[in-house]
């Protein structure tokens, strides 16, 4: 069984929450914590400094977020935005993606970051040239605009399946557990990128996507497994595909 981070464990042990779903989020690099509850926030009792918001408030348009620090940068993460659950895991993914990108991104080269979330890869691997981040989540794209401020970054809120593909030197794709699928793989191929770095969170999806990318003109060069969730069946795989 995975141990909880002390910041979360403190909330579990000492917090008081209403009935219903409760989401606890924390940034180990900053110490900031955010609690999201289904019920009324006036029944919540948590340590001082913890931000509390209800699902109803979020649905009405209230914004709430916390910050974390990793890979040498500070990241804003909104209540409804995805972010890796472990700082060391996120840093391991950044290192693996950077290694897979290697020398394929020339100075000033264009990086496309598909399913880019709050900008983790665009803001680390893509800092030295223009980057296009594509993400369907409204909260994540709002965070990405903050996290990538000062970079040559274009942020597109769109479903990758319906994105108007642009030329790229390198594509990084971090799709959901279902994988790219045929439409998104076609968008990747339409960029004519010399290299594609695929981050897969399900081995079966990786197998399907590898077949699609191979049929689209790419060869699988390397795959690196990263065990973000020890003692579970879940693994992340960072794979490099080179255009034939």
**105-133 residue pLDDT tens:** 888 899 999 999 999 999 999 888 999 99
Residue 118 and residue 200 in one domain: yes
Residue range(s) defining the domain that contains residue 27: 6-62
- Domain count for the chain: 2
Q: Which of 46, 201, 228, 238 is catalytic?
A: 201
Residue 104 and residue 177 in one domain: yes
Residue 42 and residue 89 in one domain: no
In a domain, 71, yes or no: no
Task: Enter the pTM of the model.
Answer: 0.93
Residue 125 and residue 232 in one domain: yes
Residue 105 and residue 41 in one domain: no
Residue 11 and residue 102 in one domain: no
Residue 130 and residue 177 in one domain: yes
Confidence of residue 1 (pLDDT cuts 50, 70, 90): very low
Confidence of residue 81 (pLDDT cuts 50, 70, 90): very high
Q: Based on C-alpha coordinates, what's the Rg of the chain?
A: 19
Residue 145 and residue 231 in one domain: yes
Please report which helix (H) or strand (E) contains residue 141, including its range: helix 138-147
Section 5-16 average pLDDT = 92
In a domain, 76, yes or no: no
Residue 100 and residue 205 in one domain: yes
In a domain, 77, yes or no: no
Whether 3 shows a pLDDT value over 70: the answer reads no
Residue 26 and residue 99 in one domain: no
Whether 84 shows a pLDDT value over 80: the answer reads yes
Section 135-161 average pLDDT = 97
> Buried (b) or exposed (e) across 69-106, using 16+ Cβ within 10 A?
ebbebebbbbbbbbbbebbebbbbbbbbbbebbeebbe
Section 191-196 average pLDDT = 97
Whether 34 shows a pLDDT value over 50: the answer reads yes
> Are the CB atoms for 157 and 119 separated by under 8 Å?
no
Residue 5 known to be catalytic: no
In a domain, 159, yes or no: yes
> In CATH, what number is assigned to the domain containing residue 206?
3.40.50.150
Residue 161 and residue 204 in one domain: yes
In a domain, 125, yes or no: yes
Please report which helix (H) or strand (E) contains residue 97, including its range: helix 87-101
| Rounded distance between C-alpha atoms, residue 63 and residue 79, angstroms | 8
Of 7, 95, 19, the closest CA to residue 51 belongs to 7
In a domain, 75, yes or no: no
Residue 38 and residue 151 in one domain: no
């Amino acid at each position: 069984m995975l141990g909880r981070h002390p910041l979360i464990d403190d909330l579990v042990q000492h917090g008081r929450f209403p009935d219903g779903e409760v989401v606890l989020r924390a940034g180990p690099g900053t110490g900031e914590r955010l609690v999201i509850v289904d019920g009324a926030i006036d029944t919540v009792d948590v340590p001082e400094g913890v931000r509390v918001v209800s699902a109803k408030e979020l649905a009405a348009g209230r914004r709430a977020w916390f910050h974390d620090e990793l890979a040498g940068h500070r990241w804003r993460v909104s209540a409804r935005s995805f972010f890796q659950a472990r700082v060391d895991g996120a840093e391991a993914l950044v290192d693996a993606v950077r290694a897979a990108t290697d020398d394929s991104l020339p100075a000033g080269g264009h990086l496309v970051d598909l399913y880019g979330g709050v900008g983790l890869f665009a803001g680390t691997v893509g800092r030295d040239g223009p980057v296009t981040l594509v993400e369907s989540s409204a909260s994540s794209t709002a965070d990405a605009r903050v996290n990538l401020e000062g970079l040559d970054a274009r942020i597109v809120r769109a479903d990758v399946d319906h994105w108007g593909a642009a030329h790229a030197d390198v594509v990084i794709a971090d799709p959901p557990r279902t994988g790219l699928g045929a439409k998104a793989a076609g968008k990747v191929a339409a960029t004519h990128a010399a290299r594609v770095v695929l981050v897969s969170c399900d081995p079966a999806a990786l197998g399907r996507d590898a077949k699609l990318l191979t049929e689209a003109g790419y060869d699988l060069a390397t795959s690196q497994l990263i065990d973000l969730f020890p003692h579970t069946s879940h693994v992340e795989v960072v794979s490099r595909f080179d255009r034939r």
